[in-house]
Amino acid sequence: MNSHAIAELVFHLGRIASGEGLVEGLTPAQWAVLRYFARANRFSRTPSAFAAFHATTRGTASQTIKSLNNQGYLTSMRSEDDKRSIRLVLTDKAKNILANDPLESLVRAADSLPTSAQDHFSNALQQMLGQVSQERGRPPFGTCTSCQHLEVDGCSREGQTAYMCGFTSESLLIEELDGVCINFIENKKRITVKRPVISA
């Protein structure tokens, strides 16, 4: 009985937080694109990957991206490896405007939850997302830190452990491990990532 309430709340909350008209002159779909390219890693910044992430068609994604391109929020270039593929990058204009993301109200709401609850909450959501994605036959889109493809690169340099992606066979910078990836596959026993201490 409670699961029904949860489903409705999730749906409704997502709707309320995003569907709030044209913030900064951008539509909800356009905000979704900016958000995605701000989070996606190097291998996933393409129209197709966004379409998969956003559960829409490549045609629709192409249209939204074109509009953002025209408005100067995205720059695009052909990939070297695959000449069909296009790589998209946020411009500074886009990075600046992301501070006014209408989703920030949801972030604040999440922030007001007790710290202890936030972890459980985020885990529960992730589990639900995984299940729904599987049911719908969609890629789950996670980050390296819990991905089967993450491998420790043999040669460490400068005292830091080096990582690589077993799927693309490319080495990864530590900063890249938190980007969302379309090639993600859930890994039960995850590798512990050693991060350099960041001075506050």
Partner DNA sequence: TCAAGATGGTTTTTAGACGCTACTATGTTA
Partner DNA sequence: TAACATAGTAGCGTCTAAAAACCATCTTGA
Place of tokens 């953002």: 68
**Rounded Cα gap, residues 36 and 30, in angstroms:** 10
Distance of closest approach, residue 1 Cβ to a copy of itself, in angstroms: 9
Draw the binding track, 58-97, toward DNA (x: CB under 7 A; -: no contact): xxx-xxxxxx--------x----xxxxxx-----------
Is 35 one of the binding residues for a copy of itself (CB under 8 A)?
Answer: yes
Distance of closest approach, residue 158 Cβ to DNA, in angstroms: 33
**Rounded Cα gap, residues 176 and 41, in angstroms:** 7
Is 122 one of the binding residues for a copy of itself (CB under 8 A)?
Answer: yes
| Angle value at C-alpha 139, between 6 and 59, nearest 5 degrees | 100
Cα distances from 128 to residues 6, 10, 104, 123, in angstroms, run 11, 11, 22, 9
Is 137 one of the binding residues for DNA (CB under 7 A)?
Answer: no
**Rounded Cα gap, residues 135 and 131, in angstroms:** 6
Place of tokens 């949801």: 106
Is 57 one of the binding residues for DNA (CB under 7 A)?
Answer: yes
Cα distances from 63 to residues 42, 47, 57, 92, 155, in angstroms, run 22, 10, 10, 21, 43
Instruction: Please identify, using beta-carbon distances, which residue of 81 and 135 lies nearer to DNA.
Output: 81
Is 15 one of the binding residues for a copy of itself (CB under 8 A)?
Answer: yes
Residue 83: name its binding partner from DNA, a copy of itself, none (Cβ under 5 to 8 Å by kind).
DNA
Per the CB < 8 A criterion, the answer to whether 186 and 47 are in contact is: no
Instruction: Please identify, using beta-carbon distances, which residue of 76 and 133 lies nearer to DNA.
Output: 76
Draw the binding track, 66-105, toward a copy of itself (x: CB under 8 A; -: no contact): -------------------------------------xxx
Write the CB contacts of 168 (distance below 8 Å, at least 6 apart in sequence). 43, 149, 183
Is 52 one of the binding residues for a copy of itself (CB under 8 A)?
Answer: no
Is 111 one of the binding residues for a copy of itself (CB under 8 A)?
Answer: yes
- The binding site for a copy of itself (CB under 8 A) comprises 2-20, 32, 35, 39, 54-56, 103-113, 117-122, 124-129, 131-133, 135-136, 138
Interacting residues toward DNA by CB under 7 A: 19-22, 27-30, 46-49, 54-60, 62-67, 76, 81-86
